[in-house]
Structure 1
Amino acid sequence: MNDVTSSSEDHNLAMLTHLSGILLGFIVPLIIWLTNKDKADKAWLTAQAVEALNFQITIAIAYVAGSVLMAILIGFLIIPLVILANLIFCILAGIAVNKGESYRYPFALRLVK
C-alpha cells in the first residue's frame, strides 16, 4: 500500500530507521519515534518507526534467548539465524518504505503502539 501523504524525506528517514537496525538495534527507531510521535504530519513515519522498534525489541529478546541457550549448545544455531533474519527483514523493510509502501514485519512482538 503506497502512502501518498508522506514526503520523500519521510521515506528516506523511514528507510534509515529500518536499515539502522542491522547495526544499531533499537536505538535509531526509538529516537525517530520519540521525536515524531506527537506530529500529526509525520504519522506514516511514526508508524514505521514503531514497526522497526517492535521488530528490533523482538530481535534483542531473541539474542538474549540464544545467548542463554548457548549453555545447551542450541544457542549456537539460534544466534546466526537471528542475525540472518534481522539482516533480511531490515533490507526488505528499507526497500519497501523507500518506495512509499508501509511495511509490517512478518513476526514481531507488538510492545510499542
Structure 2
Amino acid sequence: MSHDPYAAPPARSTPAATWAVLAHLGGILAYFYVGWVTALVVWLVHRGKDHGVAHQALVALNFQLTVLVALVAARILAEFPLIGFVGWIAMVAIGVASLVLSVLAAVAVSSGGTYRYPVTLELVR
C-alpha cells in the first residue's frame, strides 16, 4: 500500500456541510408534499449565520417548491376521468426525479461543492 504525500486530504464533514446536505435531502419526502419543509427550516435558521449553507438551502427550497407545484398540478390532472392516467404517471415521474436530483445535490454538497438544479422556478429570493 503506497501513500501519496501530495494527494488532497479527504473532505471532512463540517456542521455547515451537514446542514446543507440535510436541506437537499428533504427532497426525498417530496412525493408526500413535505419535501420543502427541511429546506425552509435550514434556510430560516442559517440565513443570518452562514451564507454558504443559506444559499444551498435556498436553492433546495426553490427546487422543492417547484416540485410541489408540479405535484399539485399532476394531482389535479389525475382527477380527470380520461386523462387521469397521465397525471398519475406524471406524479410518479416527478417523485422519482426529485429523489434522484436531491441525492445528487446532497452528494455534491457533501464533497464541498455546490449544486444547481436543472429546472427550478425562483420563487423565494
> Hey, what's the Cα distance between the residues in 1 that align with 2:43 and 2:91?
27
The alignment yields a C-alpha RMSD, in angstroms, of: 1.2
Q: Report the structure number with the largest CA radius of gyration.
A: 2
> Hey, what's the Cα distance between the residues in 2 that align with 1:20 and 1:107?
17
Give a deviation string over 1:38-72, Cα, whole Å, max 9, x none: 22xx1000000000000100010011010111112
Q: Name stretches of at least 5 consecutive residues in structure 2 with no aligned partner.
A: 1-12
2:30 equivalent to 1:20: no
> With structure 2 as the length reference, what TM-score do the two structures score?
0.80
Aligned partner (choices 54, 68, 77) of residue 76 of structure 2: 68
Aligned partner (choices 48, 58, 64) of residue 50 of structure 1: 58
> With structure 1 as the length reference, what TM-score do the two structures score?
0.88
Give a deviation string over 1:2-43, Cα, whole Å, max 9, x none: xxxxx721111111111122124111110111111122xx10
Q: Which has the higher contact order (CA 8 A, sep 6+)?
A: 1
Q: Which has the higher helix share?
A: 1
Total equivalences in the alignment: 105
